Structure formats: structure tokens, C-alpha cells
Structure 1
Amino acid sequence: MASPSLAREQISIVGSSTVYPFATVVAERFGKSTGYSVPKIESTGSGGGLKLFCAGVGESTPDITNASRKIKQSEIELCKKNGVTEIVEVQIGYDGIAFANSTRAPKLDVTVDEIYKALAKVLPNEKGELVENPYTTWRQISSELPDIKIEVLGPPPTSGTRDAFVELVMEEGCDSFPAMKELAKKDKAMHKAACQGIREDGAFVEAGENDNLIVQKLSANPHAFGIFGFSFLDQNTDKVQGSKINGVEPTFEAIGDGSYPVSRSLFFYVKKAHAGVIPGIEEYVAAFTSEDAIGEDGYLADRGLIPLSARDWKLVRQDAETMTPNL
């Protein structure tokens, strides 16, 4: 690690496209209210950010990475292997994953199982054999759904939104099939691949890490659906609307109380070795975890962040103030 006199003057942050707009607001306020430079933030996706973060210690590596899912054990091991041994995990709140379409089209009322059937790469047939997904329209899945082609824009594999969507929708829907439950007993690796695989025949289109781009494309194509964080839905209600999933609307309240089925926690991770070397890291963490930012009436709630409970916020704040490594 470079000595303080040779260190970067600007905090380097990478990671989740979902956390990116929240971090950007904090960074701008931080730059205006302190004598520190505005942190440089790149939207690389949660997986991409953690890969960069875990590459090592030193001013050529990021200080902080944002994540719309919890860090994986394999990523913790990669960090350790490269000398990143002290990591501070900071949970900032919750977010829901919206399954949305244009406000110019009818609102969809869909189940987790039906979304899985629409997007799975393979599905079990009547004999329980895995076959390529045969569905081309929503009506083929259910007579209650529209008779339009299945076309869904979503995030790439490097995205935490994609990881969370696979866990909360694909894996959940997969095990609604008795044949898939049986497969789990016989061959766990094949079961995992089948449950997590998303079709590659054009029905699902990877739209990159820019959720705003998905919103724009949905505005242009009323027959398409998109997968992105609730905050982007909340900021674009004039253009897009969230589908009901299992009968529940994606709302601030439903995500906060857990009744909306596709909800997840949001985090950022701090490299403890860079604190005190790169100027302003502790102060930035303090600003992000302040009640003014992520509290129940914090300014990030106005941007779509679902706040932690008062009790959980106090625990997060305590770890942030002491910069205690907790991984």
C-alpha cells in the first residue's frame, strides 16, 4: 500500500447498478458538505465489482464495492487469497426486483411459477424429461395471460439483480415441479443448472448493467417486459409499471414488510486496509449510514430505498462508526 502522501485523493467505488444511484446521491452530497473530492463511482454489476474489489490491496484497486446481494463465500476466499483480509460489510436497506412493462400496455398479474416457465432454459415434460422451453407466448403458459410473444429484457450474469432474480424467482419456480424436486435428490449439479438456466433463444435479452436503458426500451416496446430494481420503477412511474407477482404489487410498503416475494438486501463493502490511507473513506461511510441518508425519513427513501428497521439501522451504524471488519 502506498504511503498516505502518495495515495489517491479520490475514493474509488465500483459495483451494483441498483446501488449506484443511491451511492451517487450520497457521493455528491458528501463532496459538497466536506472538503473531500466527490468519490468516483462505476456501475460494473455486483459480481464485476466484487471481482475488482477482491483483486488486491493498493491504490490501483477499489476502496468500496456496492452489491445488490450478499458477498459469496467464494468471493471472500478470492479476497483473502489476494490479501484483502479485513472487509466491512454495510447493509443499507432493501430493494424489490420489479417485473415491469410500459404504462401503455395492460398491467400483468403473474406468479413466480409463471415467470419461471416463461424464462427457464429447460423445463420438464410430461414424462419428467428436461426439454428446451417450448413456450413462445404468455397465453401458452396460462389462459389468464396476454396472447403476446415472450420478450423480457434483463441484467447480465455479472449483476446482483440477476443473482437475486435467479434465487427468488427461478429457483423458487423450479421446485414447484415435482420432477425438479426429484432431480434434486438424484443429481444436485444438474438440478442447479436446470433451475438457474435462463433461455438463450431470444425470449430473454441481456440488456447490460444500465437499468435506465431497459426503461427506455420498454417505453418503445409495449409488448416487452423488463427486470430491474424497484428504485428505477419508482423513479419512472410515468413510463413503466410493475406487475403484480403472486397477487402483490411492488410497493414501498410491500417490499418493506416482506409480502412482495421478490425482495432483497442491498450492501456496500469497504476495504479496511484503505481506511486512513485514501482520504475520506471513514467520513463517506459515516455519511452513507447516517439517519439523514438511510433512516426511515432519510433522503434515500425518497429515491426508492426501503429503510432498515430502527434496530437494524443502529447495528449497521455502530459497525460503520467503528469500521469493524465483520467478514
Structure 2
Amino acid sequence: MTRGLKLAASTAVLLALAACGDGGGGSASNARSGVWAAGSSTVFPFATRVAENFARTSGGAAPRVESLGTGGGIQAFCQGVGPTTPDIANASRPMKQSEFDLCAKNGVTDIVEIKIGFDGIVIATARNGNGFNFELNDLYEGLAKQVPGPNGTFIANPAKTWNEVNKGLPVQRIQVYGPPPTSGTRDAFLELGMTPGAKLVPGVKAIEGDKERFEAIAHTLREDGAWIDSGENDNAIVQTLTRTPGSLGVFGYSFLEQNLDTVKAETIDGVSPTADTIASGEYPLSRSLYIYVKKAHIGVIPGLQQFVQEFLSEGAAGKGGYLADRGLIPLPEDQLAAQRAVASALTPMQRPAK
């Protein structure tokens, strides 16, 4: 790109950022005065805590944090450059290739991916509920809309109780409250639980070579009341478990930590979700949490880079930091240092492989 074209592109970005916050064609004086982050309900309590601390210590405008689900937050983030779009997308899974391409299509070309810590997906019940030791294939066989039938066919899942799925599980109806399709927790549950579980079932393993068909079979959850979409509010799922005896819930580990007086987590392949088993990856449903930063907004939206630095500070994301008190599992010191380097250099991410 020539120097002239670079200057023109930079000017275009600055003009976009100077647009009126209500979508009009205003001036720079109309630009937002504070940071805007939107996305994952799992990351929401961490981002909110950072926003509270940042506003208190910086004296600047309090950042706006919205819980829209990972998919919803990234969709909003990718709508373009300027004050009518979020500066940060909070995510409980990595950005998808299709989302990256949407961003690029709308002029969001330099995205900084920052890993902030670890979390696990738990399957929980009320504290006085039955105990479960799930195997990964139990998740698929209990919750998939279609399961293998005779002669290589697939049929509507007939299982009514968990004991029909695995004789080692309780005679308890299959009723699971979980996140909706827009949720990163839902996406991670499908990738970490349903996909490997499906591969353990011979009839599904047999079609693994047909990628689209396999994914449709492994990722399509029941719609007959066995799986119930429960919105983007993980706390609401926790509360539902206490009001609905015999039900199970799927949500983030951090919400388990905050509600151990009312709910308990079940084991997966004999492993309980703890800070140690999640950080090590021993717990099968372990995942990383992310924030995605719009580089074009750095230096234009006041406090944005400082907010990101606060998110990764030792007092916040480090061991013993205030985010650990809310259930975030910290990165090892070397990994946290690497993420700080990415944030400092504002290194753009590469296009995801899938």
C-alpha cells in the first residue's frame, strides 16, 4: 500500500470513529467517552468487576458492559468501526472463521485476541440431588436429538431416563437446562462434550468421515423437553435447579463457585471440576476465555488500552487477583506474560482455521 493510500485509510477510520454515537454523521465531540464491551454471559461478571475497579481508580467514565452471549457480542463487534459498535467482544470460546470474515467484510480488520483465563463447563444439580458420574458418551446418548438406530439409520432419541443411557446412572428423567445457541458456553459444550461423546458411539463414529452429517448429528440437541434452552443468564439456570427437583443444568464453573451452597457439580469421566483440574485440562470440559479488542478504537475511545491493561494486571487476572474471587481460573505466569505482550503490542490475530 502506498503512503497516500495508507493515509486515506487511516483518515477513513478516524472519520468513522468520530461519527455520532446514535448512528448519525456527527463530529468527534459526539464520540463515546467510555469503553464498551459486549458478549459472553460467562465473561460478563469478570468484565463488570474490571469495569468497576477501572472506573474507581482511573476517574474516567465507567465502561459499559453488556451480556449478549458470545455470538451476539461478536456479531455486534463485527458490524463496523466507530462509536456505534463495541470496542471489545467478550467470548467464552475462540472467534470462528465465519465471524472473523464478517468483521473483515465490515472493515474490522485488526482484531487483537487476548486470553484472560480458564473456565470449565459444569453439569450440576441441586445440592440434595442424585449424584452422577457421566462418561462423555452419556452426554451424546442422553441429549442428542438423533441417535443410531438399526441398519445404519438414525432415530429420534427414545431415552426417557439417565438409567436407560447408562445403567450406572440414576433412574431420573432426562431434563437439562442449558444455554441457547447464541451462547459460547453452548458452543463449547457441543465441542468439548457432545462431539467427543459422539465419537465414542460406534454408529456415529462410522459417519465421522462425512463432516457435515457428523456435526449435525453430534451437535443437534433434543427438542422434546429433555434439553431446555434457558437464556444467557447462568444465574437463572442455577436458580432453576433449586426450584426443579431432578433437573440438571449446564453453565460455567465460575457460577458454580458462587453458588456452592445450593448446587453441586457432577463428575465427567471420574473427574470433578476444580481450579486445578480445569487449569491442567484434566477435566474434560475445560476451556479458555477471551476478549477481542478492536485495534482501530485504541487511542480514539478514551481509556480503552488502559482498560485492557487492567484486565490483565496482576491484581486482576493474576493468582490471588480480584477476578479469582469471582471464579476466574488464572493463567500460568508465563502464559499471562505472553498475553500482556500481545495486548501491549496490539498484535492482530490470524484468520481462524475454522
User: Smaller-chain TM-score range?
Assistant: over 0.9
Tell me, yes or no, if the aligned pair for 2:137 and 2:201 is still in contact at 8 Å. Answer: no
Q: Could you say which residue in structure 2 is the equivalent of 1:268?
A: 291
Q: Which runs of 5+ in 1 are unaligned?
A: none
Aligned residue identity for 1:165: F
Shift of 1:298: 1.5
What's the TM-score once normalised by structure 2's chain length?
0.90
What's the TM-score once normalised by structure 1's chain length?
0.97
1:93-139 Cα distance to aligned partner (Å, 9 max, x none): 11000000000212221111112111001000243310000101111
SS at match of 2:236: helix
Shift of 1:326: 2.7
Alpha-carbon separation, structure 2, partners of 1:61 and 1:235: 31
Alpha-carbon separation, structure 1, partners of 2:268 and 2:102: 36
Q: Could you say which residue in structure 2 is the equivalent of 1:283?
A: 306
Count residues in correspondence.
326
Alpha-carbon separation, structure 1, partners of 2:95 and 2:211: 22
Moved over 6 A (4+): none
Q: Mean alpha-carbon deviation: is it higher for 128-137 or for 226-235?
A: 128-137
Q: Which runs of 5+ in 2 are unaligned?
A: 1-15, 19-27
Tell me, yes or no, if the aligned pair for 1:11 and 1:280 is still in contact at 8 Å. Answer: yes
Alpha-carbon separation, structure 2, partners of 1:310 and 1:170: 32
Q: Could you say which residue in structure 2 is the equivalent of 1:89?
A: 113
1:193 is aligned, of 200, 213, 216, to: 216
Shift of 1:8: 0.4
Q: Could you say which residue in structure 1 is the equivalent of 2:163?
A: 139
Q: Could you say which residue in structure 1 is the equivalent of 2:176?
A: 152
Q: Mean alpha-carbon deviation: is it higher for 118-127 or for 281-290?
A: 118-127
Q: Mean alpha-carbon deviation: is it higher for 76-85 or for 298-307?
A: 298-307
Q: Could you say which residue in structure 1 is the equivalent of 2:348?
A: 325
Alpha-carbon separation, structure 1, partners of 2:316 and 2:38: 20
1:242 is aligned, of 260, 265, 271, to: 265
Q: Could you say which residue in structure 2 is the equivalent of 1:179?
A: 203
Q: Could you say which residue in structure 2 is the equivalent of 1:299?
A: 322
SS at match of 1:311: helix
Alpha-carbon separation, structure 2, partners of 1:24 and 1:103: 28
Shift of 1:261: 0.4
Q: Could you say which residue in structure 2 is the equivalent of 1:17?
A: 41
Q: Could you say which residue in structure 2 is the equivalent of 1:202?
A: 225
Tell me, yes or no, if the aligned pair for 1:282 and 1:323 is still in contact at 8 Å. Answer: no
Q: Mean alpha-carbon deviation: is it higher for 88-97 or for 298-307?
A: 298-307
SS at match of 1:42: strand
Tell me, yes or no, if the aligned pair for 1:90 and 1:267 is still in contact at 8 Å. Answer: yes
Aligned residue identity for 1:245: I
Q: Does 1:8 align with 2:23?
A: no
Alpha-carbon separation, structure 1, partners of 2:275 and 2:208: 35
1:167-224 Cα distance to aligned partner (Å, 9 max, x none): 0111111111222222122x32211111111011111000000000000000111200
Aligned residue identity for 1:257: S
Tell me, yes or no, if the aligned pair for 1:20 and 1:41 is still in contact at 8 Å. Answer: yes
Alpha-carbon separation, structure 1, partners of 2:303 and 2:31: 12
Which has the larger Rg? 2
SS at match of 2:17: coil
Alpha-carbon separation, structure 1, partners of 2:17 and 2:215: 43
The percent of aligned pairs where both chains have the same amino acid is 50
RMSD: 1.1
